[in-house]
Structure formats: structure tokens, C-alpha cells
Amino acid sequence: MARAKRSGSRGTRSRRVSPFKFTATERYYAKGRGRKKLPRSAFLLPSQRKFPYKTASGAVSCRMLKAAITRAAQHGYPTVRAKAKRLYQRYCARKAA
């Protein structure tokens, strides 16, 4: 007797969920049209408009800084990573402790 195949299942592997979930506003400004609306001062690499870390209101986002640290390390931007780590320590380390 053949076993019934489960549809939509990929086995017993569970999907990883990031503890750093972006809000809808952060997601909007991290991609596409929203990125163009942000001032250059909202980016860690302003010449290329990469690694946003501020929201539209100008507030520093700890989630976006954490993402910038990770992405900069993955894609080989050591100066951006160092700057993001300094900003994270300055604005977000107190909140975590």
C-alpha cells in the first residue's frame, strides 16, 4: 500500500523565523519607491543609497541597523559594518540591556 503524499509540505524542516521582524513602514523604506523618498542622510552608504537605518521621521531604527550590520558583513563592506556597529551600540545597546 502506497503512502499518501502530503501536499504543500516540505517534510519535518521548520522555517527559520528572524527575531528582527520589520514593521510595514520599515519594509517600505528599505526597498523600492520608499528608498527614493528618504534623504541621503538616512543611509550608511549615502552615495549609493544603500543600507538605510533611519525611518521617514528621522528616527534611528534598531532593526534596520541590525540588518545593515548583517548585510554589510555578507557583502564585504567592512567600513559600513563598523559604522553600523558603532551606531547600534550608541542607540540600541541600552534598550537591549
Q: 13 in a domain, yes or no?
A: no
The model's pLDDT over 12-58, given as tens digits with 9 standing for 90+, comes to 555 555 555 777 777 776 677 778 888 999 999 999 999 999 988 89
Q: 89 in a domain, yes or no?
A: yes
Q: 12 in a domain, yes or no?
A: no
| Cα–Cα distance measured from residue 56 to residue 61, given in angstroms and rounded to the nearest whole number | 10
Q: Where are the alpha helices (DSSP H) in the chain?
A: 24-30, 32-37, 62-75, 78-91, 93-96
CB-based contact 52:64 (threshold 8 Å): yes
| Cα–Cα distance measured from residue 93 to residue 96, given in angstroms and rounded to the nearest whole number | 5
Name the residue with higher pLDDT: 8 or 53: 53
Q: 76 in a domain, yes or no?
A: yes
> Given a cut of 90, is residue 6 above it in pLDDT?
no
Q: Domain range for residue 70?
A: 24-96
Q: 33 in a domain, yes or no?
A: yes
Q: 18 in a domain, yes or no?
A: no
Q: In angstroms, how far is CA 22 from the centroid of its own chain?
A: 7
DSSP string for residues in 60-88:
BPHHHHHHHHHHHHHHT-HHHHHHHHHHH
Q: 37 in a domain, yes or no?
A: yes
**How many domains does the chain fold into?**
1
Q: 38 in a domain, yes or no?
A: yes
